[in-house]
Structure 1
Amino acid sequence: MSTSRPVLQAVTGEALALQAVEGGSVGSLRQEVGNALGVSAKKVVLLDGELLLEDGQAVTPDAEGRPITVLVRTIGLREELEQLARSWCVPKNSSDDSWQVFKGLLGEPDVKEAEGIAIAEFEYLECTQVESNLDRGRIVYDLSTGRLKNIYTDT
């Protein structure tokens, strides 16, 4: 016999009109929550207590009766990728021999639904005390976890 767990919005504590079926797929639950809230499933983050639930996992029983908590990321994908690229660039510091200056994203992010990733290219200046060169980088972002997978550069 399968049981279910309540699903609550994290900010308001309001119960959603759906239940997380124990043993069911987290990915399916993410899609259901997205549909119920009218947002893309990619923006939905599911938590079991303080643990981030991944799409490949199954919803597990909870002896304490805790609900699955829902967060919805409101920042846009482009803004999030831009912030990641900016934070990757090393600012000028008196002890550094080189540093990077973020210039901007090149076009819109390429969302690859089947692979669950988004890719964005960006330009930055690679600087030293003597010269600076315009270089390109590429961000690979995991849509299911909302986390950076990798940054690649031409250098």
Structure 2
Amino acid sequence: EATAAEWSKSACSLATVRSHGVRTVNAWTYARQILPEANGAADWVCTRADTWSGEGSRILAQFQTADGPVGAVAAKAEDSPACGSRDPKVLAGVLWKSRAGSWYLLGAGSKNVTSVTGSGGERTAGNVLAVRSERTAKARLSGTLADGTKVNTLR
């Protein structure tokens, strides 16, 4: 269950679920990433809002830096089992600018993701990826689970 401090960076993004008969909202940190160039760390948070009808669930993957006031929505989906008890896996990515001005493609998957591949073919073992990128690049990722199953970004 998310703490008040964790909700402080996520709550503003919940505007998309208002007026949909929300029954429950849960948030959990699915990855922690050390940022390039000694820029600290970031959390990847999955927020899931389920409705009373069972349809129209909303899922957000957010990128939250320690010094940022709010999280950035990296990916979202609707009517998906992702980021829930039935399907806990999640993968999302963002383009991020370091304090020195360098651009990076960052990505993170849940704990069951064993490798992440960027759109340029860059691949890393584990559930986080950080590779230099161009400011205009698209944050496209894919992941792999231990059993070889492919995982796409949340959509």
Q: Which structure shows the bigger proportion of residues in helix conformation?
A: 1
TM-score by length of 1: 0.32
Bigger radius of gyration: 1
